[in-house]
Chain A
Amino acid sequence: MDPTVLKSLLSDVVELTGEHIVLAGVSWLIAAAVGVGLGILGTRRRGLREVSVVVANILQTIPSVALFGFLLPIPLIGGIGRHTAILCLVLYSLLPILRNTIVGIQSVDLPLREAAVAMGMTDSQLLRLVELPLAAPTILAGLRIALVTNIGTAVIAAIIGGGGLGVLIFRGVASVDTIQILAGAIPAAVMALLADAAMTALEKRIRV
């Protein structure tokens, strides 16, 4: 391969990897805040729990390409560009986080919860001292799944002008250029594997 072509491809890879990290990372952080928050509230309010899980479920069943497409024509929140892509990724990664938060908290032993309440814990103490620490491994597992999925799904952001490594992959597909496809796919795969390993290590650390 021509050295100048290779050099420009490499600089593309570096730049787009950075964009990819921002896409997947920012959307993951927002989804984490919303998902864990909603999940906690959901364990206190049954109506909210049912509605939020149904909505998150429906969002998850929409094929990711279609979800990106749906948001395009919507004013303010939609349109071409990175912010639409991030919104899309947030919606898409909400379900595992929300569901694992709810399941994690609800699976805390009933006698344990009852003893804590009977000892005089307030609801926020119950949450902080008992439920969240015991649910942490399950919640982290949800966050891990969301992050890894997000890194993969963020590839599709390229079709609505959101940038990221998908740019290389779609360009490569359009021009039947395997090298470009790999230049996009390999960093994305490595990123997903690293994220998975890091989150798994964190999960193991807190599961005493």
Chain B
Amino acid sequence: MPYLSFHDVSYAVQNRPILKNISFEVDRGETLVLLGRSGSGKTTALRLINRLLTPSGGAIFVDGQDIARLDPIALRRRTGYVIQEFGLLPHWTVEENVAMVPRLLGWPEEKQKERARDLLEQVGLGEMAGRSTRQLSGGQRQRVGVARALAAEPGLLLFDEPFGALDPVTRHEMQQQFLRLQERYHVAAVFVTHDLLEALKIGTRIAVLDAGEMECLVPRDEFLQVDKPVTRSFIETIRV
């Protein structure tokens, strides 16, 4: 059974449709990339999964359960979320930031610390545990953001253009690290981006969203053969 599935999901604001009848499935160990231009609805789709927004039609299942019936707080605590702006708390240390969800879940303090340290090691920031997040570079901040998302051992990770604000070299390093972490943790990941190269690097499958509709959903290897207008225009962007 897929870990995450969308069944005919729609979302509208005051009768203005943002997403129209979207369906897809994501298994654990898989990374589904939602590719689209600004305003295509890809971030909206992501925010429906952790119930920051509520669908106006259709249903979303996580781990076999209809999320509309789940407590949103509990759902969010087992769903990792990484955003472009990092969203790290400036008055907490790096380690405290990573341990946020374990803390919310009431893990014993020792276990919180141990988990945070372990994850910081894995993202190469073991030395930074006691620092303020303000002393970190953009790339380091997002490593903390990724570590934080993984801290409570979620089965599902949501990424909203997480590397969009980073320089190309740092972005490449982050993508490589993402692949290593995905290999190790085997989560179901949904990754929103508008960068096709990024999509091709990290996606298991790629879906193209345009004006709230899904134009295609294909395995990465087949993406460059898709002959649909928006998908073609994305492919154009990487042609030299």
Which residue of B73, B83, B91, B104 contacts A115 across the interface (Cβ within 8 Å)?
B83
For the complex, is B50 an interface residue (Cβ under 8 Å from A)? yes
Stretch from A33-41, A118-126, A183-191, A193-201 at the B interface: A118-126
Stretch from B13-21, B74-82, B182-190, B226-234 at the A interface: B74-82
Complex interface residues of chain B between 85 and 115 (CB less than 8 A to chain A): 85-91, 100-101, 104
Place the interface of chain B in its size category. Answer: 20 to 34
For the complex, is B240 an interface residue (Cβ under 8 Å from A)? no
A-side binding surface: helix, strand, loop or mixed? helix
- In the complex the two chains form, is A130's CB within 8 Å of B83's CB? no
Q: How many residues of chain A get a CB closer than 8 Å to chain B's CBs?
A: 18
- In the complex the two chains form, is A118's CB within 8 Å of B73's CB? no
- In the complex the two chains form, is A134's CB within 8 Å of B91's CB? yes
Query: Given that A115-B81, A125-B104 are contacting pairs, would A120 and B74 also be in contact in the complex, using a CB cutoff of 8 Å?
Result: yes
In the assembled complex, the CB of B38 is this many whole angstroms from the nearest CB of chain A, namely 17
**CB neighbours of B104 from chain A (8 A):** 119-121, 125
**CB neighbours of B100 from chain A (8 A):** 116, 119
For the complex, is A111 an interface residue (Cβ under 8 Å from B)? yes
Please report the C-alpha to C-alpha distance between residue A134 and residue B81 in the assembled complex, in whole angstroms: 22
In the assembled complex, the CB of B84 is this many whole angstroms from the nearest CB of chain A, namely 8
> Chain B 200-230 against A: per-residue CB contact (8 Å), 1 yes, 0 no?
0000000000000000000000000000000
In the assembled complex, the CB of B78 is this many whole angstroms from the nearest CB of chain A, namely 8
- In the complex the two chains form, is A111's CB within 8 Å of B87's CB? yes
Chain B residues within 8 Å of A, Cβ to Cβ? 50, 52, 73-77, 81, 83-91, 100-101, 104, 132, 148
